[in-house]
Amino acid sequence: MRRRWWRELLADVLTGVVLAAYWLAACGAGGAAGVRAARGPEVDDERS
């Protein structure tokens, strides 16, 4: 029973990785690029 927690944790981590990879493939590639194109220069000027 004590060793089961790491299996559940591993399953949660793997699920999160899969969901993150799916989100990046579906939304991140186009969405983040569009946001960077729209906000990029302003954000860069504020940081520097």
Mean pLDDT by 10 residues, the chain (48 residues): 84 95 77 59 54
Q: What is the spatial distance between Cα 32 and Cα 5, in angstroms, rounded to a whole number?
A: 35
Q: What is the spatial distance between Cα 39 and Cα 32, in angstroms, rounded to a whole number?
A: 10
The pTM assigned to this predicted structure is 0.46
Q: What is the pLDDT of residue 3?
A: 74
Identity (one letter) of the amino acid at 30? G
